[in-house]
Structure 1
Amino acid sequence: MRYTCNVDFDALSAIDMHVHYETDTCGHNSLPDEYLDASAKYFKGIDRLPSIEKIADTYRQLNMAAVVFTIDARTQLGHLPNSIDDLVAGCNDNNDVLIPFGSVDPRTGQEAIVEARRQVNELGVWGMKFHPSVQGFDPSAREFYPLWEELSALGKPLVFHTGQNGIGAGMKGGGGIKLRLSNPLLLDDIAADFPELTIIMAHPSVPWQEEANSIAIHKPNVFIDLSGWRPKYFPESLVRFASNALSRKLLFATDYPMISPEVWLGDFQKLEVKEEVHPRIMKENALHVLGVKGHSR
């Protein structure tokens, strides 16, 4: 199965750049049960494991597209991810609204490079997702540079979790997850050394928002997705820069199913962000990051 996109980008109201596919058609989940349970408690009252069909229906009804992915953290968690092939097949069945990103475990070395190449070239994923804290690696470490070099050559954007973690929250020792690995400054090295590689820093990077702002302003190849936090809780500096220095760098993103698009949008409309910037955040910046032909900034 290779993904073929059938999204009518001109007709869309928005593109959600951060949506999780947490369980495959065989019932295998992305994370061990205790981590899923802890994150469900952290985000409160959500359907933690929506099917790919429910995800598609949610966004179809809203006239939005969604970038969908999972996380491969097999080394750190001792748990195989849910199937990337299954994710791609589900996105292809709903290719009017869903766009698949892949994921590999950087700690598997050459195997990760080979698998990343397969996911891009054979499955047709449009990008890759990484979570340094959950995957247990320092993205700036030189041992991972061959992977970034390969992905830069493949020309696909990379999403990296940054900031605080809902995964492991409340568990003993935070489930062994180390927050420092999600400091956005660790991504600055990659952005500098691989200037052709598009990097998306996922989430407001609490407690390092000033660092994230600076990197996105300084590096043309770095963007920020606005997922994982209801906009009413966004750091003040992020909101302030949204209308000026970061207006071309911010991406609408929810972290669905943790936060619904409706809740996110309800909050966002109340922020002091210039009205003329809204279309950029909701769709135009995403079209640029995704490399959609016929759309440029």
Structure 2
Amino acid sequence: MTSINLDDLVAIDVHTHAEISADGHHSLSPELSAASARYFKVHGAREPTIAEMAAHYRERRIAAVVFTVDAETATGHPPIPNEEIAAACAEHADILIPFASVDPWRGRAGARRARRLVEEHGVRGFKFHPSIQGFAPNDPIAYPLYEVIEELGVPALFHTGQTGIGAGVPGGGGIRLKYSDPMLVDDVAVDFPELRIILAHPSFPWQDEALAVATHKPYVHIDLSGWSPKYFPPQLVRYANTLLKDKVLFGSDYPVISPDRWLADFERLDIKPDVRPLILKDNAARLLGLDAK
């Protein structure tokens, strides 16, 4: 097993999805998966295996954070096992970084599971999708889980803003957008002051709120996944160039958005030359502890 060599990388993608397990189990129910495909205009696209993801990213000299979403309580759909994702990433440790997802509704059992995933399976962070998981980030039900993640010193990545999952389905497939307001994560940053947090995506319709939280709380970061950079709101670009230049991270949302498309559009974005490498690689390397000597 080879560890990541930062000098060989051109970028670190902090937001990619494992969509299918080794036995063909999908990360989302057919209804939600179809809605997401329509939203991102990728209907009929093949879902890559983790080995195929590794080959895709290795060819581009980009490291990738890989995760799924455990939303079994809210959706009734079993997740892809975190242990499987961690083991597959370990086989490609030169390029893939495993994150896990634990349903907050699992309570203290979920907190114990999170500890095992880090200590026994090499997981490097955790993904939350409040709208799909059906919880407010500041609900005390999740606090035992945050406590363990903070203690272990790994990041917690929260989906924020609108989601393509459930879009166009009657009632949004039961998914409530309000749970992905970044102001709810502000409470988490207050109650767990040492927790490293990533607010995923340009946070439409709460972009200003996300910028405020990341500016105010020292360990809150923003990833730029899920949108082509040409659609970024101007205030996000302005803050990325200035106040938040050390806290903004490249993320694609692969496979629904390819790193090729994202990077090509980012190249045309008005980002200062000295800030560009921070966003593409250096900030993520520091946050994930990849730059430790």
**Both structures adopt the same fold (TM-score exceeding 0.5):** yes
C-alpha distance after superposition, 1:121-163 (max 9, x if no partner) = 1111000000000000011122322221111111110100000
Give the 3-state SS of the residue equivalent to 1:19 in structure 2. strand
C-alpha distance after superposition, 1:35-78 (max 9, x if no partner) = 11110111113635211121111111111100000000000000
Give the 3-state SS of the residue equivalent to 1:275 in structure 2. coil
Give the 3-state SS of the residue equivalent to 1:170 in structure 2. coil
Whether 1:26 aligns to 2:13 is no
* RMSD of equivalent CA atoms: 1.2
Identify if the C-alpha distance between structure 1 residues 48 and 217 changes in structure 2 by more than 3 Å, giving closer, same or farther: farther
6, 24, 31: which one pairs with 2:3? 6
Contact 1:36/1:48 (CA < 8 Å) preserved in 2? no
1:294 positional shift: 3.1
Deviates more, 1:174-183 or 1:53-62: 53-62
Aligned to 1:182: 180
TM (normalized to structure 1)? 0.96
Identity of aligned residues (%): 53
TM (normalized to structure 2)? 0.97
CA distance, structure 1, for counterparts of residue 118 and residue 46 of structure 2: 27
Give the 3-state SS of the residue equivalent to 2:131 in structure 1. helix
CA distance, structure 2, for counterparts of residue 17 and residue 233 of structure 1: 19
Whether 1:269 aligns to 2:267 is yes
Aligned to 2:102: 104
CA distance, structure 1, for counterparts of residue 41 and residue 251 of structure 2: 19
CA distance, structure 2, for counterparts of residue 48 and residue 164 of structure 1: 24
CA distance, structure 2, for counterparts of residue 182 and residue 14 of structure 1: 27
Contact 2:104/2:141 (CA < 8 Å) preserved in 1? no
CA distance, structure 2, for counterparts of residue 63 and residue 141 of structure 1: 39
CA distance, structure 2, for counterparts of residue 82 and residue 107 of structure 1: 17
Aligned to 1:79: 77
1:108 positional shift: 1.4
C-alpha distance after superposition, 1:186-216 (max 9, x if no partner) = 0001111211100000000000000000111
Unaligned runs of 5+ in 2: none
Identify if the C-alpha distance between structure 1 residues 225 and 5 changes in structure 2 by more than 3 Å, giving closer, same or farther: farther
Identify if the C-alpha distance between structure 1 residues 185 and 114 changes in structure 2 by more than 3 Å, giving closer, same or farther: same
Aligned to 1:289: 287
Give the 3-state SS of the residue equivalent to 1:29 in structure 2. coil
- Which amino acid letter does the alignment assign opposite residue 152 of structure 1? E
Aligned to 1:42: 39
CA distance, structure 1, for counterparts of residue 78 and residue 141 of structure 2: 22
207, 221, 224: which one pairs with 2:219? 221
Moved over 4 A (4+): none
- Which amino acid letter does the alignment assign opposite residue 31 of structure 2? E
Aligned to 1:94: 92
Aligned to 2:237: 239
CA distance, structure 2, for counterparts of residue 244 and residue 226 of structure 1: 16
